Amino acid sequence: MKHILLGNEAVARGAFEYGVTVASAYPGTPSTEITENIKKYETINTEWSPNEKVALEVGIGASIAGARTIVSMKHVGLNVAADPLMSISYPGVNAGLLLVVADDPSQHSSQNEQDTRYFGKAAKVPVLEPSDSQECKEFVGAGLEISETFDTPVILRLNTRISHSQSLVELKEPMPWELREYDKNPNKYIVAPAVAKKRRVIAEERLRKLEEFAETTELNTVEYHDTNIGIITSGIAYQYSKEVLPEASYLKLGITHPLPRKKITEFIKSCKTVYVIEELEPIIEEKIRSWGLAVVGKEVLPTIGELNQEIVRTAVLKETIAGVETELSKGIPIRPPVLCPGCHHRGVFYVLNKLKLHVSGDIGCYTLAAFSPLSAMDTSICMGASIGMAFGFEKARGKEFSKKTVAVIGDSTFIHSGITALIDVVYNQGNVTVIILNNSTTAMTGHQDHPGTGCTIRGEKSQAVDFVALAKAIGIKRIQTVDAYDITELERIIIEETQAEEPSVIITKRPCILLKNSPLIHKPLNIRGCIGCKACMKIGCPAISFSQGIAEIKKELCVGCELCANVCRFDAIKKEA
């Protein structure tokens, strides 16, 4: 039986078919759908973890306890999980441990481009790269088998196009699989220096065995056709290359670390000119060149952004197709993303802009407030950084500057990696004002639950984190909660707390407008008697436009949040009768 599946859906199906019983993750595009689909399989104990580090630690524990385990995240999430990854590499595993990481070339929804293969090299663990949805499923099984055979965690590297493209997948019944016996073995799993030194030697021996395996495994395949052009490639780059150069010879690498030196050498000797076509960094190319073999790679291919058929065509054939960019595409206006109509973040950033505060921002929907017309965020670097960075500004410029500064962070991001920074502020006697934007969901990645919502991945009721009690436990004495739509009260509180001589926390509360059964949706508003002052345009609501000297509200977009009515000084915006 065959179904058309996304790559992410196929990974989830692979987890089901190949005996996975534990799955953990933190949501992040382009990896989110993996775990959202795994939760559909009742045989797999599935969770959203507070962050990627915890997710991998849960996975490591489950693997050592004898359960086949899959842990999923996006590429920047692997930065957060790097500590447990590097540390579990030496001890190894018990049952199979598969770490699925989705890279995001061209930064469609990420703050940077990273190549996860570097982590495989650094951690001395194998990296697998599927090239379509069928392989996504099969490579889950292969990765788990490799993990158990070679006593190692395995990285399955996806990217945006593999994760979010569909192709046919043959579905099978799940294989019978039972928990492995738990081996209580401190000489393996306690990485104190005396143990870790011995395990380092074992890790190097394992890598050599994996190199031998890479020479013979069917995951690395050779297709000889026209030997004038040979292509060494992997993952989505294989699909691009095959479409442009169907008659070329191919060495398709399903394992990109470690590489099969003998197989690569033989392939290069068999072809007149060999191109290494890989997305992002020249990892395969550099390794091949280090063996003294001649290939063509990044001198004709970019290291920045996604590849595509035209890039491959131009690089190898020195050809371009005329008319690819149509007149229509040239005339399409730029449409930057904006906060949704009714978004509760909008009023917060309207006030912050009005007060001309320095805003240390974070990762989430609210990052969009950095752009016009709200223009109310100065920095946004990585998950959970806002609080620590605001404290850094205070340390650099003094406590008086902190009275002009706030850190803003979403509820899910605060739980992910903001709590420890708040502890640092209190412990080191800082004066930072932190605004927790609590919209009761992980909105940016598709409205996943988190420990602050009181709901698990399968909708089961659980204990919700109490942000007020947590702030008190950390040592914050000044804590205020405010309705995010009450901008008058919000402005008063922000002024009050930023002037205080101690750290404070402001919690703005309103559920995301896009949540199912959101209580915020009301009748649209009307504008009558507009004088054209454009005050309402400063909130950046996509439901409001300005034409022929007056503001207008698009009823099909307006949710009736009344924020625009609160900023209109002329009482021109009212509810529909």
Listed by start position, the domains of the chain span 2-216, 220-317, 345-509, 525-575
pLDDT value, residue 577: 61
What value does the mean pLDDT of the chain take? 94
CATH architecture of the domain with range 345-509? 3-Layer(aba) Sandwich (3.40)
Nearest CA to 460 out of 38, 72, 47, 37 is that of 47
Q: What average pLDDT does the segment 305-330 reach? A: 78
Residue type at 58? V
* 332, pLDDT greater than 90: no
Comparing CA positions, the residue from 500, 476, 386, 388 lying closest to residue 426 is 476
Question: Cβ neighbours of residue 229 under 8 Å, at least 6 residues apart?
Answer: 245, 248, 249, 271, 272, 273, 274, 275, 316
Tell me: pLDDT of 336 over 90: no
pLDDT at 333 over 90: no
Q: What is the pLDDT of residue 553?
A: 92
pLDDT score of 328: 52
Whether the predicted pLDDT of 326 surpasses 60:
no
pLDDT at 337: 83
Average pLDDT over residues 178-205: 94
Model confidence band, residue 324 (pLDDT cutoffs 50, 70, 90):
low
pLDDT at 335 exceeding the cut of 80: no
pLDDT over 70, % of the chain? 97
pLDDT-derived band at 481, boundaries 50, 70, 90: very high
What is the average per-residue pLDDT within 347-372?
94
Question: What is the predicted pLDDT for the residue at 551?
Answer: 92
Q: What is the pLDDT of residue 322?
A: 57
Please check whether the two domains, 2-216 and 525-575, share a CATH topology.
Answer: no
CATH of 220-317, one of 1.10.10.10, 3.40.50.150, 1.10.3720.10, 3.40.50.920: 3.40.50.920
Is the model's pLDDT at 325 over the cut of 60?
no
Q: What is the CATH number of domain 2-216?
A: 3.40.50.970
Q: Are strands 220-223 and 248-253 parallel, antiparallel or unpaired?
A: antiparallel
What is the pLDDT, as a whole number, of residue 327?
Answer: 56
What average pLDDT score do residues 3-11 get? 98
pLDDT value for 225: 97
Confidence of residue 338 (pLDDT cuts 50, 70, 90): confident
Strands 226-233 and 45-48 come out as unpaired
Taking the C-alpha atoms of residue 478 and residue 377, their distance in angstroms, rounded to an integer, is 23
Least confident of 61-65, 262-266, 323-327, 519-523: 323-327
pLDDT of residue 81: 97
CATH of domain 525-575: 3.30.70.20
